[in-house]
Chains A and B, each alone.
Chain A
């Protein structure tokens, strides 16, 4: 094959000088870490998005001061309870542009009772107006949903037909939900809202358990689905105008803030990677400064032979770029490979933290791979740009010092 400027750079790498390996190892570690951790972050966000889109609701209406509690419940599945008057449902339902409204009530389970494990999140819903629970039922009993039926989240330990008991009220597990990736729903137990009211009554009478608040006539939140074409900001405005004690959040909004929360969780890792990227750029800079100095005569000869200044610049940049892109590929293989190998334990560990994780779709992974290579490429360019500018200034006259 006949030589080109690019191939000339490639041939220089063939010598496989120690410094080539130093850059290769160092950059591939950075890219590997970057690729693996962004896969993790995106995987978590992806599973949140998936879950929220399954919710089927456009708006979530909750008491004004409970937004933070709601977000943390959605993200980590940490049970929380807040209440408002159930009368708001009818008012919202009457608004123009609103298609359906479904109320839900959140209870935290009392610990210490028979058959109650951990902190299950108890959610009462109304089967007559529901549109967010029933569509996700994955496995169910043959019968219709009974009055004392319970639907459990995918992560719940029970099986269909089991009897569970909360606040003195026995429930029969009737169905199990698909995995949503949202901790709140994957660990929850859903049942008829009437049963929630019975539980609250029972907790008042049984002195051995910590009583629930009196819940009759209350709900925790309303899930709102809009008519096609209805404008979200407009509906939000009319809901708040009539009910100033409420807060209406879009599910997209929740996803965004969940995203911010995950990024915050991983901010340490991200900061570390940024530092690594910068120090690698400095390292490439130092190595290429040495390379240019060492090759002064050679570069002078190439200049004498007819290379222009831009040719010399390209020659140095190409070489650094090839190295860093190669490192990028190696790094991605390492990062992706490690993630694959430890996927089980990583997912297990994240679940302990109640953080959902589903690997993002292939297109997204491909895009991230492209991004990782791009970053490697930028590292190569920014690391070698200054040495390349120094090389450009090498005078062809340089070759004359020791005779032509």
Chain B
């Protein structure tokens, strides 16, 4: 596995009023292509901040994010938007589908912003979306609206949307929050498939230990720093590195 994602001395300072919150205090991290990484750590430890700087959503105060050797925070807005659009599939926590669009249109939405598929024929796009939804067992809901779906079903639609532009990286921040155990297991199983079958690099933030069974790498965060390669992350968590 080659070096794929790399952060160097990544720092993020939020200013709230005259208060200074140091969310990331210098993170050096490497993620290999095809890895399945789960970030754990107590609330406020900086997981979301770290993942969103990697995803091109939150600009770091200091340090670099290199993806395939390219510093993404050197890109201008339209290049960065393009990068997010093609390289990264986001899986949002909840309510991330557009309520006015049906399932099919929600899934193809990222293609609107993809200058390649703008020219591509829409039939191909449509059949790709339907095939993804079929893989996710959502074929019968193609014309439903998000409000007509259960939480687990909404999650699957979000997964299909994350995959439509064939990104190499899938970023998910607490993708199974608010789900019951059974549905959570289903979503985790799908993520395994995405990693194994579609060969996507998977980066997940979660508080749920269920992910640890499937993850290839576990990274624990505390107070803006990371703990890599803990011999036994579960034990570390039990011992209070994270909540």
Residues of A at under 8 Å CB distance from B?
1-5, 8, 11-12, 14-15, 297-298, 301-311, 395-397, 399-400, 402-404
Contacts and interface: CB of A to CB of B under 8 A. Distances in A.
B105 A404 contact: no
A312 to B, nearest CB: 10
Q: Most chain-A Cβ atoms within 10 A of its Cβ — which of B51, B58, B95, B112?
A: B112
B11 interface: no
B206 to A, nearest CB: 10
B64 to A, nearest CB: 18
A305 B110 contact: yes
B84 to A, nearest CB: 5
Nearest to A303: B81
Contacts of B177: 403
B101 A308 contact: no
A304 B108 contact: no
A319 to B, nearest CB: 11
B112 A3 contact: yes
26 contacts: A2-B105, A2-B108, A2-B111, A2-B125, A3-B111, A8-B101, A8-B112, A11-B100, A14-B100, A15-B100, A297-B95, A304-B90, A305-B84, A305-B110, A306-B81, A306-B84, A306-B110, A306-B165, A307-B112, A307-B113, A308-B82, A308-B113, A400-B48, A400-B57, A404-B93, A404-B171
B100 A399 contact: no
A80 to B, nearest CB: 66
Interface string B154-176: 00000001000100000111100
Contact of B174 (A1, A305, A308, A404): A404
Interface of B: 48-49, 51-52, 55-59, 77-78, 81-82, 84-86, 90-93, 95-96, 98-101, 105, 108-114, 122, 125-126, 161, 165, 171-174, 177, 205
Contacts of A400: 48-49, 52, 57-58, 173
Given A3-B101, A400-B57, 20 more contacts: A2-B125, A3-B111, A8-B109, A15-B99, A298-B98, A301-B96, A304-B84, A304-B92, A305-B84, A305-B109, A305-B110, A306-B82, A306-B110, A306-B114, A307-B112, A308-B82, A399-B57, A403-B177, A404-B48, A404-B171
B105 A11 contact: yes
Contacts of B111: 2-3
A309 B125 contact: no
Given A304-B57, A396-B84, A3 B100 contact: no
Contacts of B55: 304
A404 B112 contact: no
B125 A404 contact: no
A298 B98 CA distance: 7
Given A14-B100, A404-B174, A3 B114 contact: no
B58 A397 contact: yes
Given A304-B57, A397-B52, A404 B172 contact: yes
Closest 8 CB pairs of A and B: A306-B85, A404-B173, A2-B122, A306-B113, A403-B93, A308-B81, A11-B100, A397-B58
A303 B52 CA distance: 13
Q: Which of B113, B114, B205 has the most CB of A within 10 A?
A: B113
B105 A403 contact: no
Interface centre among A2, A5, A302 (most CB of B within 10 A): A2
Contacts of B171: 404
A306 B112 CA distance: 9
A402 B57 CA distance: 14
A364 to B, nearest CB: 40
A1 B102 CA distance: 11
Contacts of B126: 2
B78 A308 contact: yes
Contacts of A397: 52, 57-59
A276 B110 CA distance: 40
A305 B122 contact: no
A305 B85 contact: yes
A77 to B, nearest CB: 59
Contacts of A305: 84-85, 90, 109-110, 113, 161
A307 B101 CA distance: 16
Nearest to A311: B113
B222 to A, nearest CB: 19
Contacts of B82: 306, 308
Contacts of A12: 100
A1 B125 CA distance: 11
Given A14-B100, A301-B96, A308-B78, A403 B57 contact: no
Given A5-B112, A305-B113, A404 B92 contact: yes
